[in-house]
Structure 1
Amino acid sequence: MEFEFYHYAVFVLTGLCAGFVDSIAGGGGILTMPVLLAMGIPPHLALGTNKLQASFGSFTAAVNYSRKGLVSLSGIWMPVLFTAIGATIGTVSIQMLSADFLSVIIPFLLAGIFFYTLLTPQLGQEDRKARMGKHAFYVAAGLLLGFYDGFFGPGTGSFWTIGLVLLIGLDLKKATAFTKIVNFTSNIVALIAFIIGGNVIFTIGILMGAGQMTGAYLGSRMVILRKVNFVRSVFLAVVGVTLIKLIWDTVFG
């Protein structure tokens, strides 16, 4: 495919903005996928290229969070393993099944997350006692959300974050950092499948990835330096926009 010079600038800028938002509250795909499709890239190539550029951002944010002590890489092998398994199954399944039924169910789940977070101001302000065993949560969430991210995707980061806050008792900062690790895992697994299928435009993915890395670094720095209320505000904004987009696509798509 051929693009004009300004197209490349748009790709980089889009990656930067998406990386910034995604490193704080997820939802970067809400920005990147419409741009890729608007540039005339076929859906299957857009999906694969999107996974490539998203991997740069999630990796950068994960490294920054781990270096600042918000998440320990040594204790996260179990959710990473089961997320990889779930994402593998999901990525294979999406090539054989329709994701239409998920597009109907997910907006209701996201609406629940949005209003629960909105009406619970103290949610995620500090660590709390876990309501579920960590190992059980890691297995269940890894398989289910890994599958979902490989199969469909929108809102995955929101589901991880709210699950870590409500069931494991992490504050929003730590939950956000943890989420980037498992997001990177499912991104890489899906990316490998798309590469095998020849559905990645590497030039565009790497350009957007450069923007992603810059945005992800800046966004993760904001989370590290700012209070939980900042993360909560961005989280609500991203979940709200994701919800609106999914409803729009369901009704008018």
Structure 2
Amino acid sequence: MLSLSFLCVIAFFAGLVDAAVGGGGLIQIPGLFSALPNVAPATVFGTNKLASAVGTLSAARSYLRRVRLPWRLVLPTTVAAFVFSFVGAQVVSLIPKGVIRPTVLVLLVIMAAYTLWKKDFGKLHKPVEIGRREMAIGLAIGCAIGFYDGLFGPGTGSFLMFLFIRFFAFDFLHASAAAKVVNLTTNVAALLSFAIGGHVLLAYALPMAAANMAGAMVGTRLAMKKGAGFVRVLFLLLTSVLICKLGWDLLQG
């Protein structure tokens, strides 16, 4: 009972952070490993995905009530991400994590440096006109990020936000909303893969999902109230945490 209460508190804060800027898994997954030390890693990840998917659904719905997105771009990106997330989850055992971590670390450093260097990056919402080129870029983003999320995962929301700003001139608020829609489908695809293997503890996942959803509602309201500048600061903080975590993991071997 104590471990479930602890996990629900963790899930609430994970949902809050994830709704605003992504990265809730950085809070929720270590919490699950700490509270359930004897549970197989695949079951930890599956339980996390169910709670995260419900929170992301809540955040996406809240954003979409207030933010207009170019569905001609977002929808194909979302479909591609769903398909390739499922593929990534299926081949996860074939690719060594030692190859992925250094690459992701370098990309995160570049992304953070670029955001810091361009002071107005993501502050103004001046979306480009959506043509064939933009749709092709969106499909490529969906395929690449979907595959990455199914395969490895950390930083998926941050990568999506950065790419929506860089290639389509979204501000951080609209980029966060678009990232939630895409990330929801990658979560569902990975969850399907875990559920097929029986790797979801419903007794923990369902209460955590409710707590994650409550946190997501608070996080979305904070982001909407404070605006793109607030989300930009959170984005840089989260990216810095990701860089430190991956760097530490590499040093530890």
- Do both share a fold (TM > 0.5)? yes
Deviates more, 1:218-227 or 1:170-179: 218-227
Instruction: Tell me the CA shift for residue 74 of structure 1.
Output: 7.6
In 2, Cα distance between equivalents of 1:12 and 1:74 = 37
Identical-residue share of aligned pairs (%): 31
AA at the equivalent of 1:217? M
Q: Which amino acid is 1:169 matched to?
A: A
> What is the rounded CA distance, in whole Å, between the counterparts of 1:161 and 1:129 in structure 2?
13
Question: How far 1:75 moved relative to its partner?
Answer: 6.2
| 1:70/1:231 CA distance change after superposition, 3 Å | farther
Q: Distance in 1 between matches of 2:2 and 2:143?
A: 41
**Contact 1:70-1:173 within 8 A present in 2 as well:** no
1: CA distance between counterparts of 2:62 and 2:243? 28
Conserved? CA contact 1:51–1:191, under 8 Å: yes
* Structure 1, unaligned runs of 5 or more: none
- Mapped contact 1:15–1:211 kept (Cα < 8 A): yes
For residue 114 of structure 1, report the CA deviation from its aligned partner.
Answer: 1.2
Residue 129 to residue 202, structure 1, CA distance change in 2 (3 Å): closer
Amino acid of the structure 2 residue aligned with 1:198: G
Deviates more, 1:121-130 or 1:231-240: 121-130
Q: Secondary structure at the match of 2:91?
A: helix
Structure 2 residue runs of 5 or longer lacking an equivalent are none
- For the Cα contact (< 8 Å) 1:150–1:190, is it kept in 2? yes
Give the CA RMSD over aligned residues: 1.7
After superposing the two structures, state which structure 1 stretch, 86-95 or 181-190, moved more.
86-95
Report the counterpart of residue 87 of structure 2 in structure 1. Answer: 89
Q: CA deviation at 1:129?
A: 5.5
Query: 1:45 corresponds to which residue?
Result: 43
**TM-score, normalising length: structure 1:** 0.93
Amino acid at match of 1:155: G
Once residues 228 and 43 of structure 2 are traced to their aligned partners in structure 1, the CA distance between those partners, rounded to angstroms, is 37
Please tell me the residue identity of whatever aligns with 1:103.
R
- How far off is 1:97 after superposition? 3.1
CA distance in 1, matches of 2:222, 2:69: 16
**Post-superposition CA distance 1:36-91 (Å, at most 9, x none):** 11121321111111111110111000000011134366863211110111111101
Aligned residue number for residue 21 of structure 2: 25
In 2, Cα distance between the equivalents of 1:99 and 1:23?
27
Displacement of 1:15 in angstroms is 0.6
Could you tell me which residue of structure 2 aligns to residue 167 of structure 1? 167
User: What is residue 241 of structure 2 aligned with on the other side?
Assistant: 241
Question: What SS is found at the alignment partner of 1:35?
Answer: helix
| 8 Å CA contact 1:83, 1:143 repeated in 2 | yes
Normalising by structure 2, report the TM-score: 0.93
Count of aligned residue pairs for this structure pair = 249
